[in-house]
Structure 1
Amino acid sequence: MGLDGTHGGKAAQPVYQATAVPAQRGLPFDLAGWVNEPRPEAGPGVFRYGYRPVDPARTKDAGVPAGPLLLRAGLNLLVAWFAEIYAVGLVYYVAGLFGVVPQTETLALVVLLFVHAVVLTGVIKLFGRMGRWPEVWRRWISPLLARTVTHEEPAEPEQAPQPGPADPWHALRTGGAAPAAQLLAAAPVGDVDYVRIQRAWEAVQGDPKLLPAFAEQVTARGGAACAHPSEARDLPGRGARHDLLTRQVRLGTAQDVIKNPPGHRSAGFALDPALLGTSLLAVGPAGTGKTTRLARPVAEALCLQALAGTACAVVIGAADADLGPDDWYDVVIAPGDPRSAYGLDLFGAAEDVDEAAARLADALLPDELAARAESARIALQQTVGPFHAAYRRYPGVRELRALLGGDPDGWDALGKALRESGRFAAYEPDLRHRERQHGRADDPGALLADRLALLDRPAFAGCFPGAEPGLPAFAMRALDHPLRVRVKLPERSHPEAARMLSRLVLGQFVQATAVRKERALFAGLVVDDASAALDAHTVRGLQRMRGANAGAVLLLRTLVDLPEALRAPLFGAVGCRMAFPGIAPWDGKLFSEAWGTHLVRETAVTHAPDTSGGLLRKAGRAGRKALSGTTAQTESITVRDVERHRWSPSDLAHALPTGHAVVSLTTVDGEQVPPLLVDLRA
């Protein structure tokens, strides 16, 4: 990473707007306090900023009601008192029987104290454990003593002052950049600035030759040193709670319920690249908060991390989806919107021509025509390959549509250009095969041409590169840079074209992450409605992204929107799964099966008529039945461990409260967290 925030190579060149450091959290940002806030190690999904680990034993005891706990503690204290008195007497009695009695008063006193100490230790250990005295001390006695001491002895003014927070720029001061540290300490620096500058300092530590350039940047620009190419230092209107040091975004609070693991109960719930790297699938009907409480905060986190130089973000959704304002993004692609400043490169993900053509063919075909996908890929490769060899560029939408439709003038011009370039012999078999296919009823080229007609509309003029001049086209291979990209799909005006573009962008993202060189950047993708974007190729690619430091957040209204053949593979490809309230039972069944079962202790009570005893007891029971009308019964209690679903389909469909979700997590290292009930409103 260079000191200017770039990562080498060429990328799309968006028009950037310079912004000043905004007031963060409504007040001047306390950088020292933020840096030195405790961030203890915790399980996956726990928001570590300010987290206080809870003692598991304390958590277990806290579930005992106060009345029974105090009663048991008092009874054990009473029994312990008598036990201690009589145990000491018993020891002396036994000693007298054996004639082991101290001869002097001093020795007798010493022996008595020793016997009392030994007996008292054993009594406290035995009855203290049974009476749970440590929990009584923690709950009531220790707080009472603390309040009493505080009330009687106020804080003394002569106490030594507490040391101030540690210096956030200590590494710079001791590493040879003391003037830069002094300047940064006096400058307004936000959390994004701090992480970005620290990242640049790590580059300096790896290559000391960069130290003069780093010092020059800090001297000239202060907190804006090593800025993102957009010069933005924060996002306008950021609303979620972020911790850029751990790269976490807090989404809610794990509930204090028995279904949640003890270490997560009442703790903040957060996502980070270690979890997003396994990809996340969220399913829930419209209006349950998938976009507002999941997609937007994650998109905001990825954009902030891009400004800090640690990630790149691609966010796909309808033009009216609440995925943040355009100011959050460097590149906004809005096909069909005349105000759009960028277009989309239809072949921009792969360096190999055949691979690029295959991905475009997959995007063009709808799910119901998946059976013809292989012939469509071959037809498009036999068209795009010769065109690229002849003209040294990819065809535009109109050119490609004409060639696939069998336009004779276009094919004659293509053959002539290939002869002039000296490559006709290599591509002659493809040309001949396409020529034989033209006009046949099963020609996949005609099908592809009809599908391309959806993109060859006046509203999309200039959105896709070709022979005609158009908008600057964004190519997905630019993910080697900390870019923020928003793709606005025309779902209202051109719904089928929007479906094709969503499939194309997701397929290109999977391609680009597999071959990109700068894998230190986390590549994050957010798809607001992934029902049209998923196919067999992208589902297979999701699992491969784990090793490429990339991941996707996929939102679905229902799994029924996907072909049945994709549902189980999709669940196996993603590591994190999230169910929102109101999902259908058949959707909940897949979640329930994926989350498996666990052992539950079940208590069964059985009642049976009492037939025990002799003649007298039986006569008494007969009289009782005659007088009261009830039969005497015996009660039998059976306790056993049985397997139960962690979350049943019925629970997921009907028992989830509004604003909540159930989410299971898996890190890129393979660590798993069972399903958590999370309040996304907290």
Structure 2
Amino acid sequence: MDTDGTQDARDARATPVPRPAGPPPPMPSSAPFEAPAASVPAPGPPPAPEHAPSTGPTLREWLHVPRIADAPGTWAYGHRPRPPEEPERTPTRQLITGALISFLAGLLLWSLLWNGYLGSFWVWPLIVLTPDSWPGTETGVMADHVYSALVIGIMAVVFGRLGRWPELAGRVVGRGPGSLPKETLPPPPEPEDDPAEWPELRAAGQGDVAARLASEVRDGRMNDVDYARIRRAWHSVRADPSRLTAFAEAVRGNGAAACVHPSNKRDLPVRAARHDLFVRQVRLGTVHDGERTPYARRGTGLALDPVLLGTSLLAVGPPGAGKTRALVRPVVESLSLQALAGQAAVIAVCASGTQLGPDDAYDVVVGIGHPESVYDLDLYGGTNDPDEAAAVLAEGLVGDLTDTDSRRATTALAQLLGPFRAAHGRLPAIPELRELLDGEPTALAALREALDTDGHHSMRRELDARERQSGAAGDPGRALADRVALLDRPAFTGFFDTSGRTRPFSLRSLEHPLRVRIDLPERGHAEASRLLARLVLAQFTANAAVRADRSLFACLVLDDATRTLTEETLRGVQRLRSVNAGAVLTLRTLDDVPEALHTALLGAVGCRMAFSGITTWDGKRFAEAWGTEWVETRDVTQRTVFADQPLTRAIHAFRKLVTGKAVTTDAVTVRKVERERWSASELAHSVPAGHAVLSLRTVDGEHAPPLLVDLRN
């Protein structure tokens, strides 16, 4: 039995050495996401783990931390919601003054009482409650001291409340009203509710399986990836009870290594971000604690998960703003961990040399233009249908050209791919396709002869139609040939092969929990890199929509989406949220996309991110997308006070002589006005370095307003 068919990916990795799985790293991150059914692998010999010492909480402690997500993007691990309304915060100086005045007033009252200036009424309870023989004795003196201490205590309570001493003390030590409580580990739950004891398995009558997994947790042999992976496998068993026997045997035989990923890996070589696989979240930073931020979100952690990435995310920021470091790598890392847990498939596309983790953190690394690359890229997306291949290839080749009709380009390619497929049983490689598009007589004659020999007369008519249309007005053949020529270079010799000599990676593999990185030859072949990125995006949107099994969350991460977005690909991105898939796109500026697509692009994605340093022109587009809100403003008007009485005029004159200012009175006007959530000028000039403004939307339609996020924390 295999896992989601992922046994096909067992060889899809550059280094097959399994990495030891240890206890969970410090403060792991995740977000709950009920995945559909997945198959359970047959039991086999587990990789021999070497457990490194844990520097953070144990897996049991990690499981016991409460997770509360009261708004989209809230880091749920240990989150404690703030009060619904912001408490009135008295200035510290005012608290100190009030406390000092109340202390002096209490001291004065005690002095008056002690010295008898207010009479002796306050001692009558002592006189009534003590015998007449006590005065003058040791017992009487002790009773006087106890009574005086009691009176002082009562006065301290009364004047302390008047002077707000507890609030001042809390403010001094940082635990006063309005301050966030420190994160502490809660007491362990009851056994029947303890996730470390696997109550779901016990409730289903699998007590021995649950006991084996619980012992793995207690003994430190299970990490957070193991827990998420086995939990996912159990959900697949609930969906298909026929898998129960294989699941139980795998757990009894392998323990924490049961249902392991086809790569036999149970963790990544290194983690650069904080993850919580229990709820599939990755933490990006901390929401800024400022007036522009809603009170409930101030100082809270901000995280992403598949529920948000399912609406796709667009990030815009200049070079050096931190898009790769603060966004792309954490997201790719999180999805890679979820892939190891059988929950996701991730395709990361970046320029060669981009720091997205080591090669052994991926199952497939396609280094286009690198002779030592183990894998090739399937130019046709894994399909053998000439029409389907022509549609995707035409979008990748000429989809960005405004003077070329993509539909006519699709027809032109189909008129060549169909006959070639019929004659040779495969689709053409790059040199062969270029010859056909250029109208090379020898290549066309050979193809025509092969069709006649095999009796493919209908395909012969397709080829003849292509020859007649070639060179006509509006024919896309020349543009297609020019773009294919970008890939027919010596640096790409041996790549994009269709004869079976290479190991091509196909985006048809999105039904498997794969971790894939495609390195583009940006240096020296920038135009070809843009073409390939556009082709991968077109293939991803096409294949994600036709997956038979959509239980895995599929995500494409484009580290640089410059000149990759077209009208058709944007429509494909919009459809991703309905097929449990999403895309993360980064741009240096919106000008890297045709101006006609700016509005469609910002409307196609649910999450929008503006990094520090964007231009006012880009800021204007974001401001329009985020819209306006009603806010309460206070206008203060100062008016000079003119006195009628001579004494009052003299006092005002003396005050002006001392302060240098005339006596005024303030008139406060409170009103509600509509203003932009973030203006173009604020986005361009008020976002500090290392920060970004991020708005979020879930696949269910819940949304969060634009939030200023500190990506360094």
TM-score (norm 2): 0.78
**Cα deviation 1:97-153 (Å, max 9, x = unaligned):** xxxxxxxxxxxxxxxxxxxxxxxxxxxxxxxxxx99999867758999x99xxxxxx
Query: How far, CA to CA, are the matches of 1:608 and 1:681 in structure 2?
Result: 46
- Aligned to 1:367, the other structure's residue is in SS state coil
Is residue 404–residue 476 contact of structure 2 (8 Å, CA) maintained in 1?
no
User: 1:508 deviation in Å?
Assistant: 0.5
Is residue 322–residue 690 contact of structure 2 (8 Å, CA) maintained in 1?
yes
Equivalent residue in structure 2 for 1:60, among 54, 74, 87: 87
1:512-527 alignment, distance < 5 Å: 512-527=543-558
After alignment, is 5-14 or 519-528 more displaced?
5-14
1:253 aligns with 2:286: yes
Q: Tell me which residue corresponds to 2:509.
A: 478
1:6 aligns with 2:4: yes
- Aligned to 1:364, the other structure's residue is in SS state helix
1:548-627 alignment, distance < 5 Å: 548-607=579-638
Bigger fraction of residues in helix:
1
Is residue 6–residue 229 contact of structure 1 (8 Å, CA) maintained in 2?
no
- Aligned to 1:293, the other structure's residue is in SS state helix
Query: How far, CA to CA, are the matches of 1:549 and 1:624 in structure 2?
Result: 72
Query: How far, CA to CA, are the matches of 1:258 and 1:565 in structure 2?
Result: 35
Q: Tell me which residue corresponds to 1:500.
A: 531
- Aligned to 1:56, the other structure's residue is in SS state coil
- Aligned to 1:332, the other structure's residue is in SS state strand
Query: How far, CA to CA, are the matches of 2:639 and 2:206 in structure 1?
Result: 84
User: 1:415 deviation in Å?
Assistant: 2.7
1:403 aligns with 2:403: no
User: 1:566 deviation in Å?
Assistant: 1.2
Is residue 597–residue 646 contact of structure 1 (8 Å, CA) maintained in 2?
yes
Equivalent residue in structure 2 for 1:640, among 649, 666, 671: 671
**Cα deviation 1:445-490 (Å, max 9, x = unaligned):** 22212221111122212221224x5321111111011011100000
1:325 aligns with 2:358: yes
Q: Tell me which residue corresponds to 2:490.
A: 458
User: 1:367 deviation in Å?
Assistant: 3.4
Is residue 99–residue 164 contact of structure 2 (8 Å, CA) maintained in 1?
no
* Change beyond 3 A, Cα 1:652–1:391: same
Query: How far, CA to CA, are the matches of 2:536 and 2:696 in structure 1?
Result: 26
Equivalent residue in structure 1 for 2:299, among 245, 266, 278: 266
1:228-239 alignment, distance < 5 Å: 228-239=261-272
Q: Tell me which residue corresponds to 2:47.
A: none
**Cα deviation 1:521-558 (Å, max 9, x = unaligned):** 00011110011221111111111101010011111111
1:1-150 alignment, distance < 5 Å: 4-7=2-5, 13-15=11-13, 16-22=16-22, 24-25=24-25, 27-28=53-54, 30-57=58-85, 59-61=86-88, 63-68=89-94
User: 1:297 deviation in Å?
Assistant: 0.4
1:169 aligns with 2:203: no
- Aligned to 2:695, the other structure's residue is in SS state strand
Is residue 332–residue 488 contact of structure 1 (8 Å, CA) maintained in 2?
yes
Q: Tell me which residue corresponds to 2:468.
A: 436
Is residue 415–residue 424 contact of structure 1 (8 Å, CA) maintained in 2?
no
**Cα deviation 1:308-335 (Å, max 9, x = unaligned):** 0000000000011111111111111111
Equivalent residue in structure 2 for 1:356, among 378, 382, 389: 389
Equivalent residue in structure 2 for 1:447, among 479, 484, 489: 479
Query: How far, CA to CA, are the matches of 1:8 and 1:199 in structure 2?
Result: 15
1:207-218 alignment, distance < 5 Å: 207-218=240-251
User: 1:358 deviation in Å?
Assistant: 2.1
User: 1:46 deviation in Å?
Assistant: 0.6
Q: Tell me which residue corresponds to 1:301.
A: 334
Query: How far, CA to CA, are the matches of 1:626 and 1:505 in structure 2?
Result: 77
Query: How far, CA to CA, are the matches of 2:659 and 2:343 in structure 1?
Result: 78
* Change beyond 3 A, Cα 1:608–1:518: same
Letter in 1 for 2:440: D
* Change beyond 3 A, Cα 1:143–1:448: closer
* Change beyond 3 A, Cα 1:326–1:132: farther
Query: How far, CA to CA, are the matches of 2:587 and 2:443 in structure 1?
Result: 42
**Cα deviation 1:27-72 (Å, max 9, x = unaligned):** 3372211112111242110111111122224x433x3324546888
The alignment covers a number of residue pairs equal to 612
Unaligned runs of 5+ in 1: 77-130, 148-159
1:382 aligns with 2:409: no
User: 1:365 deviation in Å?
Assistant: 2.4
* Change beyond 3 A, Cα 1:204–1:637: closer
Query: How far, CA to CA, are the matches of 2:364 and 2:658 in structure 1?
Result: 87
Equivalent residue in structure 2 for 1:290, among 323, 347, 362: 323
Is residue 192–residue 234 contact of structure 1 (8 Å, CA) maintained in 2?
yes
**Cα deviation 1:195-250 (Å, max 9, x = unaligned):** 11111122223333323322221233221111111011000011211111100001
- Aligned to 1:509, the other structure's residue is in SS state helix
Is residue 353–residue 384 contact of structure 1 (8 Å, CA) maintained in 2?
yes
Letter in 1 for 2:231: Q
Is residue 306–residue 312 contact of structure 1 (8 Å, CA) maintained in 2?
yes
Letter in 1 for 2:388: E
* Change beyond 3 A, Cα 1:309–1:134: farther
Is residue 43–residue 263 contact of structure 1 (8 Å, CA) maintained in 2?
no
Equivalent residue in structure 2 for 1:184, among 209, 213, 231: 213
Q: Tell me which residue corresponds to 1:665.
A: 696
* Change beyond 3 A, Cα 1:135–1:550: farther
TM-score (norm 1): 0.81
Query: How far, CA to CA, are the matches of 2:207 and 2:315 in structure 1?
Result: 48
Letter in 2 for 1:53: P
Unaligned runs of 5+ in 2: 26-51, 103-159, 177-186
- Aligned to 1:675, the other structure's residue is in SS state strand
Query: How far, CA to CA, are the matches of 1:135 and 1:483 in structure 2?
Result: 60
Is residue 96–residue 168 contact of structure 2 (8 Å, CA) maintained in 1?
no
- Aligned to 1:651, the other structure's residue is in SS state helix
Is residue 405–residue 438 contact of structure 1 (8 Å, CA) maintained in 2?
no
Equivalent residue in structure 1 for 2:253, among 220, 223, 232: 220
Letter in 1 for 2:487: L
User: 1:252 deviation in Å?
Assistant: 0.8
Q: Give percent identity, aligned residues only.
A: 50
Is residue 349–residue 512 contact of structure 1 (8 Å, CA) maintained in 2?
no
